Chain A
Amino acid sequence: MSVSPAINPVEPFLRTERMPHIWCPGCGIGTTVNCFSRALVDSKLPLDKVAVVSGIGCTGRVAGYVKLDSFHTTHGRAIPFATGLKLANPSLNVVVYSGDGDLIAIGGNHFIHAARRNVDIKVICVNNFIYGMTGGQVAPTTPLGATATTSPYGCFEAPFNLPFLAESSGAVYVARWTAYHVRHIAHSMVEAFKKKGFAFIEILAPCPTLYQRRNKLGDGLETMRYYKQHSVIKNGASTRELKLDLKGEITVGKFVDIERPTLQDAMDQRYREVLKESYCGRGGA
């Protein structure tokens, strides 16, 4: 191979001195990062004004690899950190990039409240149905019957349907894709970046090392093939209908795209209405 005069389109978005990354062969997280980089290019966001906030976990490491202002916070708390960051510095485009355990189990309370408030942040949730970083424990997304190190006889708790949770909590943009749907993911991210308010994208991704192997679902590639064969795009589908099983059809698409005032707008409007000219705006003290 000759020395490349061209550069990988993801490269300008990476802290290349930190490569190779820690993710396993066939892990889907890196794939989503490619989509993220393409979406940043296409959305033409000023990159100095994009901040990525992650919690803890395999996906939580994204913040450490992207060459943007990036914050690797505590387990479950990326969203409230992002809320403070956005309110203090409204010119930032704040993207929360984390995993299902981080955002929905330990961070579940923050997730629903940020959606309720319609904080102007974009939440990308890589859902691999398991806790990866700690070695494969059951998650609030683990399908019924799937085994994990802490559900050795199969999961008996009903999992969350994340798009339904996001919509019913108040998110203004909700989409789900799998790591197979790379162009759709990038396109959805572009849409989410343009959206004012709490936008949520769930990306199902293989965790071959822990989830697929333990559940005899093959490696990363087999999982990607499975996604390709069993995904059905149903844009606008009711989020109620998006339950996921261990095996079976996966409904993907964009389900919610509505307008409602963001937290900042609602705050400003209320203060202006009540306080009139005594309201000083925010960020000026």
Chain B
Amino acid sequence: MPEAPPAAKSRKFRGRVFINWDRCKGCGFCIEFCPPKVLKFSDKFNNHGYHPPILENEPACTGCDLCGLYCPDFAIFGIREAVSAGVPAGADVPASPAAAA
């Protein structure tokens, strides 16, 4: 069900992922279900004593936002950013990942 990452070279966008470090409760959902395995647990603790995810392989991120859909603590999400000049950010991106499903 999680979508396969589009071939990197054909992309007009790149994925970016944002993590709200202190909101994370370390459940690991984002890490487990990120299709290209962009994330891994940090060795560090956040303020609440959990290990949040960190980027292990950022270039592989497709911005699919599955991490955002899974995260029960609203602590992470991915977006797609346009890479070619002249294409406004998000122009070739569906309104939300659900619409892309």
A41 at the interface (CB under 8 A from B): yes
Which segment, of A19-27, A77-85, A91-99, A241-249, faces chain B? A19-27
**Within 8 Å CB of B99, what residues of A?**
42
The docked-state distance in angstroms from the alpha carbon of A20 to that of B28 is 17
- A6 is contacted by which of B18, B26, B74 (Cβ under 8 Å)? B18
- The answer to whether A224 and B32 touch across the interface, beta carbons within 8 angstroms, is yes
Q: Are B72 and A187 neighbours in the complex by a CB distance under 8 Å? A: no
**When the two chains form their complex, are residues B74 and A26 in contact, meaning their CB atoms are under 8 A apart?**
no
Task: Please report which residues of chain B, range 63-78, place their CB below 8 angstroms from some CB of chain A when the two chains form the complex.
Answer: 65-66, 68-74, 76-77
Report which residue of B19, B48, B65, B96 has the largest number of chain A beta carbons within 10 angstroms of its beta carbon: B96
Residues of B contacting A181 in the complex (Cβ-Cβ under 8 angstroms): 1
Q: A33 to B95, alpha carbons, bound, how many Å?
A: 18
Please give, as numbers and ranges, the residues of chain B lying within 8 Å of A187 by CB-CB distance. Answer: 98, 101
**A28, B72: Cβ atoms closer than 8 Å:** yes
Pick the contact of A26: B16, B20, B27 (CB < 8 A).
Answer: B27
- Count of chain A to chain B residue pairs whose CB atoms are closer than 8 Å in the complex: 108
Alpha-carbon gap, A30 to B76, bound state (A): 12
Instruction: Determine the residue in chain B with the shortest Cβ distance to A21.
Output: B73
CB proximity of A187 to chain B, nearest CB, Å: 6
Mark interface residues in A182-204 (1 if CB within 8 Å of B CB, else 0).
Answer: 11101100100000000000000
Within 8 A of B (CB), among A5-34: 6, 8-11, 14, 19-21, 23-31, 33-34
Give A181 to B70 CA distance when docked, in angstroms. Answer: 9
B45 at the interface (CB under 8 A from A): no
Number of interface residues of B (CB under 8 A): 34
Tell me if B23 counts as interface (CB < 8 A to partner A). Answer: yes
Distance in angstroms between the alpha carbons of A10 and B71 in the assembled complex: 10
Partner among A4, A30, A184 whose Cβ is within 8 Å of the Cβ of B18: A4
Contact assessment for A23 and B98 in the assembled complex, using a CB-CB cutoff below 8 Å: no
| Chain B residues near A8 (CB-CB < 8 A) | 18, 20, 68, 74, 76-77
Whether the Cβ atoms of A224 and B69 lie closer than 8 Å is no
Query: Interface residues of A, CB < 8 Å — how many?
Result: 40
- B98 and A221 within 8 A (CB): no
> How far apart sit A25 and B32, CA to CA, in the bound complex (Å)?
15
Complex Cα gap A122–B21 (Å) = 34
A41-B96, A224-B29 given; A1·B18 CB < 8 A: yes
**Cβ of A110 under 8 Å from chain B:** no
Say yes or no: B27 contacts A25, CB within 8 Å. Answer: yes
Q: Does A39 contact B (CB under 8 A)?
A: yes
B97 at the interface (CB under 8 A from A): yes
**A159 CA to B78 CA in the complex, in Å?**
39
Best-buried of B32, B65, B73, B74 by chain A (most CB within 10 Å): B74
A interface residues with partner B (beta carbon < 8 Å): 1, 4, 6, 8-11, 14, 19-21, 23-31, 33-35, 38-39, 41-42, 180-184, 186-187, 190, 219-221, 224-225
**Shortest 3 CB-CB contacts between residues of A and residues of B:** A30-B72, A25-B25, A186-B98
Q: List 7 A-B contacts (CB under 8 A).
A: A1-B18, A6-B16, A8-B20, A29-B72, A30-B74, A220-B72, A224-B33
